[in-house]
Structure 1
């Protein structure tokens, strides 16, 4: 897996625009080297330059045509039959053109008989040997170009998915924030009318909440303790507003260095508060945060009134909450809901 990742990173470097010129130069150097190697020792000094140019063109023609014409025109469009037919035709024409140029040159400037490496005279076997060698070289260069294009395409897809994910996540977070703010302002409005002292307390808490809302929540991550303090302020605000309400926040484990996305838990706590408005009996919300073995366990338990609260339209909804968790954590979370007769429990497991 590590080797695969190193290859991928190496491919990303080659796919970068800064390395495009270097890639062209390396390909040109390879073609010049093959052209030189093909005629090295077969021509005298007078005919070497002509033979070198002809030999280089023999290799350049199929390589460049395959990379810059056949691949985008046929292979990328999944026209494999057309691609392979034209590829073979180009290879065949390149070999024939090479023979048409090199054979006469060798007759005038050759240092020895035009033959194969094993000493046999030019024949049908040598012709097939040339086709096979040129096919392998052109196929290798084409394969490298396909790998580069795959890396570029994969990077574009990843960047598009990342941009889409960030946009969608921001929309979901914006959908949560105004909803929560509306509830807080409504609570403050009620208390201002009933009790000036309590109104002052709630406005102070609201100031802290809004400060967190517009400052810390704009960050990608916040410390878990800061998000817990935000929940405490919210619950304290609710306790001031309601006569028969109590809350409890329990933490366990090392929370100091743990970071989480902002406003991750408030939808659960807000729903817990909203759906147990029992003015005659004690209602409660209990929160539990446990960090162990690189996992964060969050539990929200709230009481349920004897008469269920009327559900209002326009709430955040469990679907949006799950969607945000999917975007943030992918498969690295487990969300369980337990709707019992007298309690409603939310259990969230996150891999840190």
Structure 2
């Protein structure tokens, strides 16, 4: 409910479709202030012809004052940080308006000499008019500043969102060519070893690439789809390497979780890349645990006897995915990496 109200207020102030309603609300406010001329010193309503003329004059003077401020003084001085010039201009406009109101009231109140007792009221009404004009003018300036401030923040948010999407697309493009290179290299190795098996693998690679090209363009995909994608990828790797094994563990409602696509493949690519061991068995173990609004992902791989050097958290791919996590889950994720003599483990916690 609060979010709906917060959204409606900027819409009412900024949206062109509410322009007429904004002016009607302003006219109603000016009319209510102008109607004060019908009250006398005792607080009773005095609806004489003279006061009606004063009401009409006061109403038009207030309109002239407010719209002159909104469309002339504020854009020319206030919005350009010329505060001193703006204050002088507004004060001059108020004084000029009060002069016209004084002439107007004096003329109409002396139009008929039947109300000499109303002269103290005229002075009081002029003073109250000055306060009313000042409050209305500066009030309209305040609303104008709020309107500009909301519009500015919306433009900043739109620019930030556009920049965020551009950066995410850039990071995703950096990950995809690396993955595609690995896959084609795997297929090339298989073609040399076993052409029939390579044909079957190429069909699987086609499915992988279809998922990567089509689903990676989506904002979110099902976690189960991501897991199936990783399973196909690791199956290809298993065919290419005789002493490689993998296992994927799932727990919880993985079929109900939606996530940005290609979120885990950099971790798996990195695990496969750094566990090559021609002499001994190598493995990659993946775990996905969903509990309430939390997802725990673990990627553990074996380390060869002579491990290649790692760059930071595992190279460009993992640096990119770390940046993606910062953009997609700001403050809602934790990434921890553990390493010992035999294994390398990535632990990722996401708050969904």
Same topology, TM > 0.5: yes
- 2:85 aligned with 1:82: yes
TM-superposed deviation, 1:12: 2.3
Name the residue aligned to 2:290: 291
| Residues 33 and 132 in structure 2, CA contact (< 8 A), matched pair in contact too | no
Greater Cα offset, 223-232 or 337-346? 337-346
Name the residue aligned to 2:341: 341
Which structure 2 segments of 5+ residues have no match?
40-44
C-alpha change, 1:37 and 1:128, in structure 2 (3 Å) is: closer
Name the residue aligned to 1:143: 142
Name the residue aligned to 1:12: 10
Measured in 2, the distance between the counterparts of 1:159 and 1:38 equals: 47
Residues 136-184 of structure 1: per-residue CA shift (max 9 Å, x gap): 2223333233323322222222222222211221221122122211210
- 2:74 aligned with 1:71: yes
C-alpha change, 1:126 and 1:281, in structure 2 (3 Å) is: same
Greater Cα offset, 190-199 or 291-300? 190-199
SS where residue 254 of structure 2 aligns? coil
Name the residue aligned to 2:252: 253
- 2:215 aligned with 1:216: yes
Q: How does 1:186-205 map onto structure 2 within 5 Å?
A: 186-205=185-204
| Residues 285 and 300 in structure 1, CA contact (< 8 A), matched pair in contact too | yes
| Residues 276 and 282 in structure 2, CA contact (< 8 A), matched pair in contact too | yes
Residues 238-297 of structure 1: per-residue CA shift (max 9 Å, x gap): 000011111111111121211111111001000110111111111111111011131001
TM-superposed deviation, 1:122: 3.9
Cα RMSD for the two superposed structures: 2.6
Greater Cα offset, 302-311 or 223-232? 302-311
- 2:321 aligned with 1:321: yes
Q: How does 1:111-122 map onto structure 2 within 5 Å?
A: 112-113=115-116, 115=118, 120-122=120-122
- Residue number among 105, 108, 124 corresponding to 2:111 in the alignment: 108
Figure out how many residues of one structure are paired with residues of the other and give that number.
344
The TM-score with structure 1 as length reference comes to 0.88
| Residues 106 and 122 in structure 2, CA contact (< 8 A), matched pair in contact too | no
SS where residue 334 of structure 2 aligns? strand
| Residues 42 and 106 in structure 1, CA contact (< 8 A), matched pair in contact too | no
- 2:177 aligned with 1:175: no
SS where residue 279 of structure 1 aligns? coil
Name the residue aligned to 1:306: 305
TM-superposed deviation, 1:345: 1.2
- Residue number among 62, 65, 73 corresponding to 2:65 in the alignment: 62
The TM-score with structure 2 as length reference comes to 0.88
Greater Cα offset, 90-99 or 222-231? 90-99
Measured in 1, the distance between the counterparts of 2:272 and 2:116 equals: 96
Residues 310-342 of structure 1: per-residue CA shift (max 9 Å, x gap): 569x96343321111122111111111223332
C-alpha change, 1:328 and 1:115, in structure 2 (3 Å) is: farther
Residues 68-107 of structure 1: per-residue CA shift (max 9 Å, x gap): 2333333333343333333222222211221123321321
